[in-house]
Structure 1
């Protein structure tokens, strides 16, 4: 985990992480009052909003960058982006009672990117951070539920939260029931919570909720946890089995939709399910989901340009280490092996697997020549130079090297 950044344990303090995961995760809301108004100041603050809007562009984003929400307005929901909106316009929108929502803040603010990467590593799923700035006596969104779990970090000011029941337990992202609910549809709230700066609130997916301000404005971060479900794993395993066994690729019987003999299909389906169980391996699905997960990680900069300038100077005596607190995973394919890490992956032939596993499991610095491997010295150099270039390894110490630079080659050319 990131030693200098927020972890799940720090978000939950002084509450027990173990109790949270055992009794609250996916089950019921959790409110933690701290009376520490500066608890999240290292993550984000009101004064940081101008920097985000002024010094980043919309090119980093997919979809809506900025949302203006005001459930009391004739236009309760408007969307725009950073290229079309300036600060003066946002000031006006805010003064008119609009909640300003900045989406995917992990792509724009390094401390939040580090938090999301830490949580992605812990939960093994996509994590996204959105910012909500609400003026006094305002409500941005109508009552609704999310199809992902959320951590509410109250950064500045205060906000009232009303949490209602769940019309469906653990809804999937594509569920048709997702909507804004009317007050007379949802009854009385199960919880009424007043968040102050430094407080924490967890709302499991499916719980209807609304949030509003009164005498104080509010700035909070919503950290969305988008977990993979068992259905996701089963789907990936089925895809893997289908690629390997032609019987799963055969078409259904002609005219099956209008055939009244459904018992015949039931029997065939039972046989296919038995066959699936015999051929299904969780590892196949886990590898597919891991590839998806690592593609979603926001790459975090750590002075990588200085590393690129030194790649040609790497020798057998050069000391390297994994980039600080980085997580990675080895994935096997039919004819190659990959090492996955935030925002990137490196592929190679099967015979470098043991070398990649040593690097993936390393906790300390190591010299190139000390790597236990069946590779010769030239191949070790080619591999570690590639891993430095792609952002997995970083140079700790460079020994003097008077040899001329080596051009990048394919790792196979041993």
Structure 2
């Protein structure tokens, strides 16, 4: 297991352990993760990777946007008629001072995907990335706040950051930032984020950044946390679907009384008092967890190869649970079910020890798994898991 997989937040911020950060900063205050190691994020991303994305993969708007002095550059300046991005025009506009924003790079760039998945697994939240390529001496966006937490990873160059007062406390996704209404307060701190350093900014914290005298590349990792408000909304939605009394009409004429009807208030209070007994968290939370797991789709390029060679698995084969694929075991009427991403595969109860061993994620020699089964029985299990795409045969040791 890599350092990123063990503690993604600590890895991003360059700290030994994330527990103190979670206790003191998460959701409440920004944090500057300083580092003298300028190569910390070298394997994550480079300008060469962005060039390859532009020139080889046929990217369309809005996967790439351009911003100049806080305002969007008209798309007619860098798109062909079929909405494809013109790499040469993007490069020219960048040279003239425009910031290039690459959205959703985690869907196209494997290191960014691994970063997102590692954070998602640690914090149980959806994640996304935006990559900002900013020319020297430029400001991409004016002071603003976000409706989700962000982790900024400075890949190349440096940026000057300013943290302001005046942002709202814990805004939700529907609380959109409006520059006409939301004015930045006083500058509370100003500092330079150097190559290899990271910054955590909680939702609602007003901030802005500008480059220094060098080109800057940074990743903004957004974390869309699941809130108590989300849990309440999901629980109420499930209850309304299940209990028709919540779907009854309000009394006729309730809106014409000129004030709050006392009977209406009393009835709503009575219903609210029963909510804690009526809501079914044992149904809602697993359903939400399953939706979250669906967000963690592994990107692999060997599914067909693995299936084609499944019949060749031998006692000497080294096998491993596929990284990034969740899995759990449940007992079903004397059998054992392996559950992953909404799918279930039943096995005889004797397979339980084999499955538990594989779910640890370690690379093991197929013939050395200690499960009390003979080789032929174990081979049937291994082949089934390979064909499901959950298990891989690897050359690693």
- What TM-score range do you get, normalising by the shorter chain? 0.7 to 0.9
Counterpart for residue 301 of structure 1 = 300
Residues in 1 aligned to 2:25 and 2:324: alpha-carbon distance in whole angstroms: 28
Q: TM-score normalised to the size of structure 2?
A: 0.82
Residues in 2 aligned to 1:180 and 1:76: alpha-carbon distance in whole angstroms: 18
Residues in 1 aligned to 2:321 and 2:371: alpha-carbon distance in whole angstroms: 16
Confirm whether residue 207 of structure 1 aligns to residue 205 of structure 2: yes
Number of aligned residue pairs: give it.
383
Residues in 2 aligned to 1:120 and 1:321: alpha-carbon distance in whole angstroms: 22
Q: Decide whether aligned partners of structure 1 residues 271 and 229 sit closer, same or farther in structure 2, where only a CA change above 3 A counts.
A: same
Counterpart for residue 8 of structure 1 = 9
Residues in 1 aligned to 2:315 and 2:251: alpha-carbon distance in whole angstroms: 62
The superposition leaves residues 157-190 of structure 1 with CA deviations (integer Å, 9 ceiling, x where unpaired) of: 11111111243111000114x123699x323211
Question: Aligned with 2:55: secondary structure?
Answer: helix
Q: TM-score normalised to the size of structure 1?
A: 0.79
Question: Aligned with 1:201: secondary structure?
Answer: strand
Question: Aligned with 2:157: secondary structure?
Answer: strand
> 1:4-403 alignment to 2 at 5 Å?
7-14=8-15, 16-58=17-59, 64-71=62-69, 78=75, 84-176=84-176, 178-180=177-179, 185-259=183-257, 260=259, 262-301=261-300, 303-312=302-311, 320-324=319-323, 326-328=325-327, 339-340=339-340, 344-347=341-344, 358=356, 361-364=359-362, 365=364, 385=383, 387-395=385-393
Residues in 2 aligned to 1:300 and 1:166: alpha-carbon distance in whole angstroms: 41
Shift of 1:306: 1.7
Q: Decide whether aligned partners of structure 1 residues 331 and 45 sit closer, same or farther in structure 2, where only a CA change above 3 A counts.
A: farther
Shift of 1:18: 1.3
Residues in 2 aligned to 1:36 and 1:204: alpha-carbon distance in whole angstroms: 25
Residues in 2 aligned to 1:338 and 1:55: alpha-carbon distance in whole angstroms: 40
Shift of 1:351: 9.6
Structure 2 residue runs without a partner (length 5+): 332-336
The superposition leaves residues 139-164 of structure 1 with CA deviations (integer Å, 9 ceiling, x where unpaired) of: 11121111010111111111111111
Structure 1 residue runs without a partner (length 5+): 398-414
Contact 1:287–1:331 under 8 Å retained in 2 = no
More deviation in 286-295 or 22-31?
A: 286-295
The superposition leaves residues 56-113 of structure 1 with CA deviations (integer Å, 9 ceiling, x where unpaired) of: 2448xxx72011011266x557597796113211111101210000001111111111
